[in-house]
Structure formats: C-alpha cells, structure tokens
Structure 1
Amino acid sequence: MSERRTAIHSYPTFDELRSRRLAERRAAAVRAVRDAEKVAAAAGGRLVVFGSLAEGGFDERSDIDVALMAVPAGRDGDVALDVELALADAGFTADVIPERFLSESLRNRIAERGIEPGALG
C-alpha cells in the first residue's frame, strides 16, 4: 500500500499579508517620489519628503507630503502642480507645498526630519 502524502499549506496570517502590502505600497511611493523629483529638477528645484513616508507610519491611508524647494516664485505653483500630478498618476494623493508657503514650524520640521527622495530607504 502506497503512502499518500498530504501537502500541508501554510497560509500567511493577516498581519503578514498587511505587512507585505504596506512594504510594497511604501516601495511604490518611494519610486513615485523619485520619478516626481525629476519634474522639480527640470525646473531647477528639488523635493524634500516629510510626514509618514519620511518619518515612519506610512500606511494604506497615508498621502505623500513633499516640499518643493528652490523653484522661483511665479513658477513654483505650476511645478508643484506637475509634481502632484506625477504622484497622482502613480496612484498617490499628495500634498506638495512650495517653499515660500512653508510656515516656520513646518520649515523647521522639514529641516530636522525631511529626507530627499534619493535617501529614502
């Protein structure tokens, strides 16, 4: 009599699935910000990421918070919109704030905890 083998399936837990999905979403957000950075660079500017993507806690409901730096007033609004649209095309809601509209407290937070897209892990 031959012995029948029964495959034992090990299904991932909810926490494992969620963790995997969040890691994939975060990686997609990092790629999207790096791509959007090219829009800012073409205008002579740069992006600095702050909020949950830079500081931790990025989840299913998180948006992407980005400061647009070094783009002259008069052009910064159009460039911010182009960056926002690039992030939207990648499937993310974003707050893109031109440097001249940063409050002092937000400017300080960005200086302390902001991360340039290339340095996002």
Structure 2
Amino acid sequence: MKHPVDIHVGSRIRQRRWMTGVTQQQLAEKVGIKFQQIQKYETGMNRVSASRLWDIAEALDVTISFFFEGLDTEAATGEDAQRDFMTDREAMELIRSYYAIPEAQRRRLFELARVLSDVA
C-alpha cells in the first residue's frame, strides 16, 4: 500500500523534473539508477531512501525540504490538490514555458494575467 508521504515526495520529484525539462532517463543517469526506479519513486510505489533523495535533490538543484513542501497542508485537509495540478501535463508545460520567458517580459505577462483574473 502506498504511503501518502511517499506519494507526495514522488509527485514533488516529478514536478521539479518536469519544470527543469529533465527526462526520467536523464535523472536516473545523474543519480546512477535505472529510469524505471525513477518511475516508481514518482508514483510513490517505492520509497526514496534518505541518501537517494539527497542525490535527487542535488541532480535537480533543490534542497531536501523542497520534496516535503505542502505536506502539512495536504495532511490537514486530507486532499492533494497540488498533486492534481502538478500531474496535469498542460499545466506543467505552461509553467515551464513561463519560466523560459526573460524576466522582464515574464513580469509583464504575470501582471496581465493578474489583471485578467481579477476581471473574470
């Protein structure tokens, strides 16, 4: 049976991997394992050991705490709204594209989106 913490950590691994444009194969090579193991981590099927999580954090250029962000909120509400959003390929592609825009234009786009959302 999958543990909610393993599912959350796995979804955060997938989220960061997608945002950085890294494939499962590339991450696996950086960490020194098979891509199938990355798949199992991302689905929460297998637990990630502390040392492996350290390696993954280094490969994805985040702190260990990144993988646990939002866990308290998720546990308190009993829902995983963030995971639902982060498993949506279109949403992840939008986020990746957004961060590929130069900062000055990105800020202007953000302000436009904020204005449009206030109108809606």
TM superposition score normalised by structure 1: 0.29
Of Structure 1 and Structure 2, which has the larger fraction of its residues in helix?
A: 2
- Larger strand share, 1 or 2: 1
